[in-house]
Each structure stands twice: as structure tokens, then as C-alpha cells.
Structure 1
Amino acid sequence: MLGRFKSFAPKAGYVDVCRRVHEYIEYYIRQALTAPSLKQTPQEYDEPQKGQRSMVQGLAAQTDDMDFIRSQILQGMLAAQETISVLVSNTMFLMARHPSEWAELRTEVLSYGEDLFNFHRLSVFKPLQNILNEALRIYPVFPMLGRTCLQDTTLPVGGGKNQDQPIYVAKGTFVVTSYIAMHMNDKVFGKSPEQFRPTRWNEIRPSQWEYMPFGGGERACLGREKVLAEAAYVVARLAQTFTRVESRDDRPWKEVVRMTAKNANGCQVGLFRG
């Protein structure tokens, strides 16, 4: 939000928290780097006990670069914060406000029975994947992403009066992409993009750079398949078990942004059997 003036923002508290987190993680990295097992050859490391090693031990066996190991561990830990629970909560928040969508999903789930509940079938189960895609479009778990430009470059659009002309980006520029804004582009997602309409996914085919709930390119989220599979399983089981879902909170979705973005009011719904 501050752009070039971000350096003026107070950050003493932030720096102190980062220092404490780094010290905590580095304690375990030092233990791994000095462990006797680290003296194994690469061939010995690939023996059966490999699967029993922690992420810290695995990285320490490959490099002694403290900053690199710490960064990899932090990336893995932070990206796993509440991802699945936030997606399921946001999905149920929306479904509770669209009971007809719940009824249709339940009918589809019941028609498959237990045969639906395996990784492959859930991943290609269009009615449910449409719902998850729509929930991620409207309320992306990760609302924005920042990247530092490594060399002078020119982006094809973003410049000019209407932002449809090329724009120069100098090396060292920190660029922030807002997924929330991107996902409201009616030229990509059709009319009324602010509305929850899962069936729009039967008509649209956004590119990986137009729909980015998990980022894109070589640095895209490694947990994408895991998140979608587990969220699909939970929502499908709920649809199989409960005949209807009812909203118990008439307040609008209000974001609270930490590492992820979730509803500050939580997900208050009633689930009914029979």
C-alpha cells in the first residue's frame, strides 16, 4: 500500500519477531548440522532410513547454508498455516448462503456413493471442483503475492492511461499482485464476478496467470493438490451426511489477513440431518 515509502513504516516489532523466530529454528538447524548421521555419504543417506528423517535433517544433509535451510523450513511451515481449514470454512460460508447449491451437490455426491471417495474421482468430480474453484476465486486463501524483479524487464500490460500498455519494471522493484482484484475481472470470469456462481466454471477457462489461488510458474504452491484433495473430501463427506446447511451469521465476510486471509467472524453455520 505504501509503495516506495514502505521503508518509513514502523517495523521494530516485526524485526524483533523475525529475530526470535530465526533463533528458534536455527537452534534445531545447528543440531542437525552437527549430528553424527550427517557424516554419511550420499549413497548411505539414500538407504531405507531416509524416510524417517525430518525436513531439517534432510536439508542439512545437502547443504550447510544456514540461511538457505532456515528459509526453506519457514516457507514450508508458513504455507501450511490453516490453508485447508480456511478453504473449507470459506466454502461452507458460501454454501450456507446458497442452499440450492448445497442441495445440488448433495444429490451428485449421493449418486456416486462411496465410489466417489478416492483421490482421482474427487479431483475430477466437476460439481465439487467448481465449488472449490469459485470459493478460491472469491476468497483466495492467499490474497496477494510479492516478488522482487531480478532484472530490468517490461511487462506487456499495466502501463498507460487504461493500464493496457507495456510497463517498465526496473531491477530490484518489489511487485505485489492482488489475487482478490485479479479474480474480479469480468472479462475473464464472466458477468457479475462478485457473485458466487460455481457453474461459471463450466464456461470459463482462465489461464494460470488469470486465476492464481496457488500462485503460478516454478514457484507455485507445492501443496496445491493436497489442499484441494483434502478440502474436496471434507466438503463431500459433509454433503453426504447433512441434508442442508444454514447460515447462522448474517454479517458479510470480513477479511483478517495474516499469512492467510480468513473471515474475521468465523464460519457460523447449522448442519441438519434428515
Structure 2
Amino acid sequence: MTKHSSHVRHLLVGSALILSGLSGVAQAQTTFDVIGPHEYELPVGFDPFNVFVQYAYVQRNNRTFNTDGDRVKGSGSTAIVGLSKYVRFWTPESNPNIGLAYEVIVPEISVRDHSANTQTSGLGDPLTGFAIWYKPTPNSTLGFQSFIQIPAGSSAVSDTNWKNLSSVLWDVRLTDRLGWTADAGFVFQGEKTNGTKPGTSFHTNHRLGYRVSYLVEPFVALDYERTAKTSTVAGSHVLDAGVGLMLHTFDNQSITVRYSKSVSGENHAANNSLNLKYAYVW
């Protein structure tokens, strides 16, 4: 393995191009809120690589925001959600200044209703899509990603409608230690089998990390989502804040943990979750 390839693998460990378009049975987080520091710190001019990422979170649905924006009692259920993802990264020979990625994501969902002592679980609706990016400067990345979510998951947890999730992504290395990675985009949804038609959602996600050592990088997180009102579904919004820690364990592996909690919202579940990300590059 060349020195250049080793550097690229180190970058790709943190950059996984991920989204979180999960079934309504488990949805409390905002779209794409599973991203971590360096998520979009993407290289160009590299040999092809593969990436496997496992995301997981545990969410306690003990609070929700009502129409007035007040916190009220939620369902009290606990959701355990995983996202298993495979990504292929490559640079076109015709233009090595551009990076490309294609990915497939399979959600795993389990929701326990403590009051009824019941559990609902299964594979969620799979997602697939692409990303393209370039580097305006040596220390920045700007790109675009778009995914289709297919209503082919288990009947107990499927959202039963098609979705398109498209967003602009960027990363800026502000100093040798301080970095900002973020995205902003929309989720377009089709009609569900029960006749409801969710509105279009806007979301944006931000991670600001400071690498205190080769191994350790604490960070702060901010996530926001607003969904338009339709004739069948009320409009909603939520603002989440979080703190986390990224461990750069090896050149080709990393582990990220984060706690996230909703600050304000309306007609939306209140986030109260512990999040985990493991990335492996080969």
C-alpha cells in the first residue's frame, strides 16, 4: 500500500456519506443526524476503496412536542435502530479532481412498547444512491448526494412510501485540529398505503470537532428539520443538540459515540438518544 493510499484510507474512515431516513415507527431523530466529524472530508485522485459502516442508536420516546411546542408525555417506547451500509468510492479516470461514491443501506429496527409489553421489529426500507464531490481548496470539500428509499422493508416497520433524499454536503478544515462538516437538503415523499401524504422536509446537520490528540476528537452537534403541512399530515419541526467523541482507533477504522437531545420542536418526537458509529475501510 502506498503512502498516498494510506492517507486516503485515513480520510475515508470518517467520511461515510450517510443518511437516516427511517420508518415512522422508529423516527425521532432528524434526517442525516447520524453523521459524525469528518463525514464529508472526502479525497480526490485516489485508488478505489470499499467502506463498511455500522450505525446504531437507542432512543427513549418518553417525551414529544405537541402543536403548541410544549413537551408532553410520549409513548414511553424504546427504539433500537441499526443502519448497515456498504459504499464504493472511486475517482473517474477522465477527471481525477472529482470523487464518486455509490452506497446501499439496510436499516434494522426494533421498537419495544413497555406499557403493552410488546415488541415490533424487522428490516426497514432499504436505501441506495450516489454522491459526487470536488475540493474547492486543499482543506475543503463540496458535493451533492441523492438517495432513493424503497418501500420494501418488513411490513411491521416499513413506511410504505417512496422517498428521495437529496442534499448538498461540505467540509472545511478550519485549522489543523478544528473542522466543520455539514449538509443541507430536502426529503420528498410519496403517498403511503394508508392514504396519508407527508410533506416535504428540509434538514440541516452540523458537526464541529476539535482533535485534541491523534486518537481523540470531541465534537458538538446541531440538527434541524422542518416538514411542511399537507392535507393529511400536520407540519412539524425540531431542533436537536448533542455532544460526542470520535476515536481514531486505526488508519482504516474509527468509532464515534454521541448523545443527542431535542431543544425545541412542534408536532415531533423529542430526541433523547445515544448514537454509535463504526467505520471500516479496505
TM-score (norm 2): 0.22
Decide which structure has greater helix share: 1
| TM value normalised by structure 1 | 0.23
Select the structure that is richer in strand: 2
Larger Rg: 1
